[in-house]
Structure 1
């Protein structure tokens, strides 16, 4: 049976499918935000249908945690975009 785990040194501690680097939030974004069928995501990621549905169930069972992860990702993306647009400091 598929399970969801958190390991501090894998995916920054985000929940993921056990034995993989496939994050719960990544699965949700592919299925819900990306509009892909769970079967297609399972095939694309080389995972079982059960693992994909377990990740989706975890997402829905932990809404506050998922909101926090989304917020962290958005902040990181924004910070990286801001830093990428700034010219480097001149060498002295």
Structure 2
């Protein structure tokens, strides 16, 4: 699954293609709430473990862009 940005969805935030799940939400679950990637697949059962790792890789590659966003669990 790819990461996409569409100004008409999620205010243009990076999302998992075809799902509307924001990379930010996956990163918050992992980094700030302590969920491991396997647990995140339980939160989003339509995403594979590979999808979660893709989102986390995108997050870490663009971390400066995400640091100014909220970190609520």
| Structure possessing the higher relative contact order (Cα contacts under 8 Å, 6 or more residues apart) | 2
In the alignment, structure 1 segments of 5+ residues that lack a partner are 75-92
Q: Please say if 1:55 is aligned against 2:55.
A: yes
**Cα RMSD (Å) of the superposition?**
1.5
Q: Which has the higher helix share?
A: 1
| TM-score normalised by L of structure 1 | 0.69
In the alignment, structure 2 segments of 5+ residues that lack a partner are none
Distance 1:18 1:5 in 2: 6
Residue matched to 1:67: 67
Structure 1: 4+ residue segments shifted above 6 A: none
Aligned length, in residue pairs: 70
| TM-score normalised by L of structure 2 | 0.86
Residue matched to 1:28: 27
